[in-house]
Structure 1
Amino acid sequence: ITMNRFVWSSENLQNDEVVIRQQAGVALYDGERKTPFVGGELVLTSHQVYWTGPEKQRISLHLSLVVLIEEQSGSWSKSAKIVVHVTPPTDEKHVGVFPSSPFDYVRLSFRSGGASEFFQDMQAALQRKDWLKMPTVDSRGKKIRTGIVGIERQIQAKHDEADKNISAAFEDLSKLMEMAKDMVFLSKSISQKLKEKGSSLTDDETIMFKSHLLSLGISDPVTKSAYGSGATYHRELAKQLAEVLEKPVQDSGGILALTDVYCRINRARGLELLSPEDRFKCM
C-alpha cells in the first residue's frame, strides 16, 4: 500500500509551495522491494516530495500522508536510506503509481550521498506543516501579488503616495503665503498708526520700532503682478532696492558685492523672490 501513495505529477508547484532541497542519484523502494524508479532526482518542497526520472517521468508523495521518517546509515555495500512510513489512502478513488502494495513504508536510497541533509530538512518540513497554512495575505486582507504586474502596481502605488505628499506640501506652502500676506497687512497697519500717532512717540522709539519691522523683511515688495514686467516694474523695483540697500552699503564702506546684494534682497523679500536678470536690469 506504499507506492500507491505516489501519484503522477506535473512540473508545476502549488500555491505558496517552496523548494527546500534537491538530491540526484536517488532510487525508490516499495518497502523491501525494488522498483523501476532508479537514478532520479529527489526534490523536497514545503508540501511534497517529488521524484523525477532520467526520462522526465515525475511522481510525488504529499507530506500530509507521511506518519514518520527514519534514517538508515549506509555501509561499503549499501547506500544510506530514509524510511518513510505513510498512512493508508483516505480516498477510495485514489489511484497511485502502483494499484496496491503489501508495505506501509517506502525507502529512499541515496546512492550519491546527501541522505542526512535531506533527512533533516524533511523532518523540519513535516514539523512545520506548511501545507495547512492559508495563503499569505497583507494587512488589508489581499493576497500578495508577485511577478511583473505586482511590481508595477507597487511602483504605481508609491507614485500615487508621493503625489499626495507633494499636493499636501503645496497646500502648506499656500497657507504660508496667506500668512505672509497677513503679516504684510499687519506691518502696513502698524506703520500707518505710527504716522497717525507720531506725536506721542519719540524719534528714538519710532526709529527702533521701524528697524524691527525692517528686520522681518520688505513689508510690501514690488512684484510683476502689481507693476507688470516692463520699465515701470524695474523702475519701482530699483527705488525699493535703493531703500533696502542704503544702510548695508553705508555699513560696508560704500561697496557691496553683487552676490551679497542678491542674497540680502531675496532674504528681505521672503516668498517674492527676485531673479538675477531682474536684479541686473534694475541696477
Structure 2
Amino acid sequence: MDRWAWANGLLDMAETLVIQQRGVRLYDGDDKTKFDSGTLLLTTHRLLWRNQKTSDCCISLPLWQIVFFEEQAAGIGKSAKIIIHLQVAAPNKESGPYQSSKYSFIKLSFREHGQIEFYRRLAEELSQKRWERISVPQPVPAGRSQPGRVKAVGIVGIERKLAEKRKETDKNISEAFEDLSKLMNKAKEMVDLSKSIANKIKEKQGDISEDETIRFKSYLLSMGIADPVTRETHGSGTHYHMQLAKQLVTMLHAPLEEQGGMMALTEVYCLTNRARGMELLSPEDLVNACKMFEALKLPMRLRVFDSGVMVVQLQSHNEDEMIASALETVSERGFLSSEEYAKLVGISVLLAKERLLLAEKFGHLCRDDSVESLRFYPNLFLTQD
C-alpha cells in the first residue's frame, strides 16, 4: 500500500477511463485496510480508488508500477480477488496513506463481482502500455524546467494530440475488423449447419414420430444457455439486469408461445435455472430483470394479478381471446374447477385459476365455493332473458 498516492480523483487531459467497478476493498498484502468499500477505476495510466460515501478520499497507483498480477478465486464467505505484485516504492514518491509496507503486493477484493471483465481490461492496458505513448504531464516546480523535453503548446500541441488519437482509433478499428472477420467465418459455419438441419427436417416432413419429437426437444433442453449473463461478466446493478432481461426474452419466447403467451414466474424461474446449469439465478435478480422488459421495449412484460400472482406475458398476448377460450371450455363442460381446467388446457393449476378468476372479473363466469371445491359456471344472466 506504500505505492499508492493521494489524488484529486480527476483524469488528466491525456488520460482515458477504461472501466470502473463499485464495491472494491483494498488489501495491503494479506491485511485488510481502512479502504473498505469504494469504486475502482482503471484508466490508460493509473488505478484510482475512490470512496463511495465520501468523494473527497481518492488514491492512485500508476500502471507502470505493476510487475504482474493474478486471480484468486472466491471461496465460502470470501469474494474473488485480483493480486497485484508491485515494484519497489520510489524514494521520491508522492505522499500517500502508507509511508511503508512489509508487502510487495496488494489485493483488490471485488465484493459486488465484475472481477472477470476488470481483469481482462487490466491485462489489455498492461500489454498495450498506452501510458508510454501518451504521457501525463507532470507538475514542474516553479523556476525549474525539465531538460531534454520540449513542451508542445498552442495549435502544434493540439494537432499532435489529434494525430495520436487518430492513430489509436485506426489501430482499434483494425483490431475490431480482425475479430469481425473471424466471427463471419464462424457465422458461415453456423448458417451451413442450420441449413443442413432444416433440409433434414424437410426430408422427414410428415414422418417424424412422437418419440422423435420428444427426443429432439430433450436435446434442445439439455443444451441450455451457452453463455449465461452473470455478475462476474457484467458487473452489478442496472446494467446486469438489463443484459439478463435481453437474454431471458431470447430464451423464453418459444416456451411462452407454447403455453399460450403466459407463464407463471415460478415456472420461468425453474426453466431459466435449468437452462443456466451451474450459473443459478436468484429470485430477486429474476424479478428485477423481468421488470426491465417494458422499459427496454422488449416483446414481454411482467404482470401481477389482483391475487399477487406474478406471470411473464408476451406483449402480443390477447386477453380477450384467453377469456373467450375459458368461457367456451367451461360452457362445454357445464362447470369446471381450476384443477379440471388446468388438465384440459395443459397449464399449471395456479395459472388456470387466474384465468378463470379473470373471466369472472369481467362477468363471463360465476363461482360456487363449496366444501367440495371452487367451481366456475357460465354466467347465465348474460345469455338468458
Short-chain TM bin: 0.3 to 0.5
Q: How high is the TM-score relative to the length of structure 2?
A: 0.35
Q: How high is the TM-score relative to the length of structure 1?
A: 0.47
Answer 1 or 2: higher relative contact order, Cα 8 Å, separation at least 6. 1
Larger C-alpha radius of gyration, 1 or 2?
Answer: 1
